[in-house]
Amino acid sequence: MACTYAFELSGEHDTLPRSEALALLDVYSSGYRELCWLDQCLIVGAKDLDAKTMVARMGMTHRIIKILAICDARPETISAAVREISIPHKSYRVRARTVKHAAMKGDQVEHEVGRALYQNGYRADLSNPDVELRAIITGNKVILGVEVGRAERSGFEDRRPHLKPFFYPGVLMPRMARTLVNISGAKEGETLLDPFSGTGGILVEACLAGMAGIGVDVQKKLVKGARVNLNGLDCCLIIGDAKRLPFEDCSIHNAVLDTPYGRSALIEATSREDLLCQSLFELYRVLKPGRRMVIVADRPIGDIIMKTSFQIMECHFDRVHKSLIRHIFICQKP
């Protein structure tokens, strides 16, 4: 039977957190339906959801809650909704998060929920509760539920590029790299290829999420440095050319790549367009049918992608700074 869940999304990007959650629902549930997408909150109906495993892998979701009630953000409607819910008679704690300029403050919602629960005979324990209740206040709605999964996000900060043994400028931040790996739909034990692997940032996140990483880069010094960053992880690194990948047809499950751009990028082709076009044809050749490629570029490249027969499923934009907007394409091989 399907249950209703809310994903408390990160506010660091407008669209990627939703795409990440939906991609992983394909992996960690036996079926789902998107019900509503509010500001920093995605509501779905899902069957057999493995919430704890899923949220531990995510880059741009804070929590997953199993929904007990959804109501307008007004004291009287909150009290009425809480009176109708049924939870085990155990100790509880209520914590609320306000999204931007929501209709009520977090402490007001916590007070109203707590007061209604107390009137129903429930006991609060703020230090060591049996049940952690979570309220998300977004717009004029309150989503209340039981927390079933919480992300541990400190590891991403510990893996920031300048803190790794080998550093080279112009790389993705770990949380973004993990999110793109997740959007690719890769599953534990599958292969994930980065044909412009650089310092290995994407591959680190893929390996930590349970994939077998494969990296290709034309620069020997970057492959050597990436091996240090990937020490102890399940990853194979190759000095090679993305235009001539050393893999059999239809042998790779998923691919995530941040294409070369900027002053530090080495281009071994007649042009960046030539490099990109030939590399995409190679990726199409080695990727398994029905699987995804996630590609990051510094400009619109949809026309080049479509020449290779990849289907563009989504396109996202990430403003890094005034002179750089990343274009993120989610593609599928038919």
Question: Which CATH number does the domain 3-150 belong to among 3.40.50.720, 3.30.2130.30, 3.20.20.70, 3.30.70.20?
Answer: 3.30.2130.30
pLDDT of residue 263: 43
223 vs 126: CA distance, rounded Å: 50
Average predicted confidence (pLDDT) for the chain: 95
Given a cut of 70, is residue 267 above it in pLDDT? no
Alpha-carbon separation of residue 263 from 94, 243, 251, 266 (angstroms): 50, 21, 33, 8
Q: Which of 48, 25, 63, 51 is nearest to 144 (CA)?
A: 63
| Fold for the domain defined by 154-332 | Rossmann fold (3.40.50)
pTM of the predicted model, to two decimals? 0.95
Residue 322: pLDDT over 90: no
β-strands 131-138, 141-150 pairing:
antiparallel
Strands (E), 182-334: 191-194, 212-217, 235-239, 254-258, 292-297, 311-321, 324-332
Q: Are strands 311-321 and 324-332 parallel, antiparallel or unpaired?
A: antiparallel
Q: For the chain, which residues make up each domain, given as ranges?
A: 3-150, 154-332
Q: What DSSP character marks residue 328?
A: E
Model confidence pLDDT, tens digit, residues 51-106:
999 999 999 999 999 999 999 999 999 999 999 998 888 899 999 999 999 999 99
Encode pLDDT of 97-153 as tens digits: 999 999 999 999 999 999 999 999 999 999 999 989 999 999 999 999 999 999 998
Residue 323: the pLDDT is 87
The pLDDT tens digits of the residues spanning 15-30 come to 999 999 999 999 999 9
- Distance from C-alpha of 257 to C-alpha of 295, rounded to nearest angstrom: 5
